[in-house]
Amino acid sequence: MRIVPFAKEHLEPAAELLEERHRRNREAEPLLPAEVDFRAEVEALWEKDGASGVFANDGYLLGTRLDESWGPNVWIELAGHAVRRAEDVRDLYAAAAAHWVEEGRTRHYVLVPAEADLVDAWFRLGFGQQQAHGFQEVPSETEVVVPDGFEIRPPDPSDLEELVDVDLALPRHQAQSPVFSTILRDSREESREEWLKTFADTDEEILIGYRGSRPVACWSIVAADKSRHYHGLGLPAKACYLAFAVTLPEARGSGIGVALTDACFARARELGYEAMVTDWRVTNLLASRFWPKRGFRTTFLRLYRSIP
Partner 1 sequence: VKIVPFAEEHLDAAAGMLAAQHSRHREAEPLLPSEVDFRGEIEALWRKDGASGAFSEDGYVLATRLDELWGPNAWVELAGHAVTDAELVRDLYAFAAERWVEEGRTRHYVYVPASDPALVDAWFRVGFGAQHAFGIRELDLPDPSIPDGVKVRLAERGDLEQLVEIGPVLNEHQAASPVFSTARAWTEEEIREDIEGDFGNDELANLVAEIDGRVVGNFVVVPIEMSGAHSGLARAPGLAHLGFAAVLPEARGSGADLALTAASFAWARERGYPAMVTDWRVTNLLSSRFWPKRGFRTSFLRLYRSIP
Question: Could you give phi then psi for residue 201, rounded to 5 degrees?
Answer: -170, 130
Q: 106 or 202, CB closer to partner 1? A: 106
Closest approach of partner 1 to the CB of residue 295, in Å: 19
Q: Closer to partner 1 at the Cβ: 130 or 142?
A: 130
Quote the least distance from Cβ 105 to partner 1, whole Å: 12
Nearer to partner 1, 175 or 222 (CB): 175
How far is C-alpha 230 from the geometric centre of its chain's CA atoms?
Answer: 8
**277: nearest Cα among 246, 241, 244:** 241
Shortest distance, position 243 Cβ to partner 1, whole Å: 23
Name the DSSP letter for residue 300.
E
Question: Where along the sequence are the contacts to partner 1 (CB under 8 A)?
Answer: 71, 90-91, 93-95, 97-98, 101, 107, 122-130, 176-178, 180, 182, 282-283, 285, 288, 303-308
CA separation for the pair 80, 288 (Å, rounded) = 25
Q: Which residues have C-beta within 8 Å of that of residue 202, sequence separation ≥ 6?
A: none
**Distance in Å, CB of 108 to partner 1, minimum:** 10
How many other C-beta atoms are found inside a 10 Å radius of the C-beta of residue 156? Answer: 14
CB of 127 to partner 1, least distance (A): 5
Please report how close the Cβ of residue 1 comes to partner 1 at its closest, in angstroms.
11
Burial 231-261 (b: 16+ CB within 10 A, else e): bbbbbbeebbbbbbbbbbeebbebebbbbbb
Whichever of 136 and 283 has its CB closer to partner 1, that residue is: 283
Bridge partners, 129 (sequence order): 303
Residue (4 or 285) nearer to partner 1, CB: 285
Q: CB neighbours of 257 closer than 8 A, spacing ≥ 6? A: 209, 217, 219, 245, 247, 290
- Which CB sits closer to partner 1, 88 or 205? 88
**Conformation bin of residue 243: beta by default, left when phi > 0, alpha when psi is -120 to 50:** alpha
Q: Residues 22, 233: contact at Cβ < 8 Å?
A: yes
Report the nearest approach of partner 1 to the CB of residue 115 (Å).
15
Q: Given the complex with partner 1, which of 81 and 267 has the nearer CB atom?
A: 81
